Structure 1
């Protein structure tokens, strides 16, 4: 399960299963989808691990019944969906979405967009499984629903040196993107290269910080900026293309890779 000494998607899948502590609970898959589930009050979470053997893609809905009261705050439960890509090597699971969902007493329906039929997915209520090392940050792909993009943004897939192989990019001055997260700190990963421009970042409507993404040598998935430590809770990071660049830059691009969120 290691590739040149590095974890693979299979390694992360077994790791997710090992983190399903507490008690196993009844779980029923539909068609080719297999499900294992557990609940652990001491860990503050319930987890479902999904996979399939027939290559099914598209959106699968997970119906969660009997959500315990200790997972509910003010009528809502935190639901985190993460994708474990079938890749070798794999840096870690990618958070597809992490949102607070209303608990009404009926089934809690969670949509899981399966982009590849050979990947595994986790659906977690409460404290998320970590996206890297134990206690480490959640890794959120820039192509997840927690990122939203205005006009003049594009998506490129199959980029081997970027997280999950995707890049969300623009070269148009004034183009904006927004990342909504819950935590105490965020680190934004973006391409640094010889053809990148300067982006402006602001947190929760505050003053902008200019970040120059120019670099003489390409670094596709490094940390371009890290926020200060924030009050625990929900926050919004806004990304704006300034239309200005380093004098040495040959282009006007900005490409967002992912974000690390400290829970």
Structure 2
């Protein structure tokens, strides 16, 4: 949702923030995390934003990289939208592509933002056809631009489609879908992008789309109402029932706008949303654009982090698999387990008083665990917070495979992080094994196998051509010091001859990685090491079958993991 109606925003804001507790009486809730039960690979599904990037350098390069953002929605080429007090259009997806690609993110292109006003002011079908043709041609011609993974044909048609002038939206969807596909049969199409989940509208839309052969590749709606962070699961269940009843194969679901105006600045509410997205199998979700573009919905201000930024930083630190989490009252959260380092990472919030987090399933952690609790406040979007607050760090016994960590005098608006490791610390001082299924996967598939480390890998890395069809995996790697490192890949090559992929890092030149046959697909071996020189902090490493400035790999290979070690 883009809007300049700040007065309406102020009215909404007064409705959404939870009421402060009258006393400091203990809430007495216990959040339960099961480290032995994985629900899906870590892919940071709730990390991203609408109009998250304003220009190639706003936010500043490197500021968002630690968040490992998955997905943005940016305006399509030729944007004219002046949202939220802006004086010039910003965020054109072709002009900002380098910024989100640099961080390992992808983006959908929102087409109707070529109109200058919101709600959009329809002119004519002749005008819209010309606009669509121009936008699609600009993207197709940008052969070196990657990480654009969807055309969003319209935005919130329940309130912005001019039926009187343009005719019924379902007719308009079919017409626009076919118009785009005539020029670009490669890039996925996403929609219908209703402003909320409407069961009847969604059923009618999907039935018509199936009949017309225009079912979107990714199904989208928004979650912007005051209480929807508690009802995402109901909406997903209803939508999946619609698919089954119509005989439509399951589509990835995108919530490409979430959070009402005051929710967006409340870390505890963001934690609730992300918890729902992870549990319900959402593919991606983006923070709503209520204020300035280039702030990821208020995560940064003047190129410095706000309180909410640190919740997403904790999310970005998650690796391995997401875990089963059982909420208690208003206390909810999400968690991961990195088995390569023996780290359980929990982010949570939502209630007040004295509460606790229980982490069970800690087999292999020994008799004691080190538990560290951090906190970030609801600072507001214009107040920066340079670092989270360390609440406590202690060593406690593991009893029956579990620890219970108290959180006293909890702030119901802020968010908390709990990190649990064996008492001796993580297996390695920094992450060295990066699972491919946790990385940014472009034009390839996340697959599962008992033979893969962590149970998952990336296959079908087969695409060659231009920036729309190239296949690659981008790893966001963090190292403690600048210097010489070696990279090894755990891979499978079921072919009869050696295959190759290109390896590049931080936008540099490509070198070739070779994969000898392993005897079968899904049967993994380790490649020879490749020497690299990395900078301290974050580096983006790409393994590609095809990519700009790379002639292309030969044969085929599946990627299980990437290991980064000092030389």
Shorter-chain TM range is 0.3 to 0.5
Q: Which has the higher helix share?
A: 2
TM value normalised by structure 2: 0.24
What TM-score do the two structures reach when normalised by structure 1? 0.43
Larger radius of gyration: 2
The structure richer in strand per residue is: 1
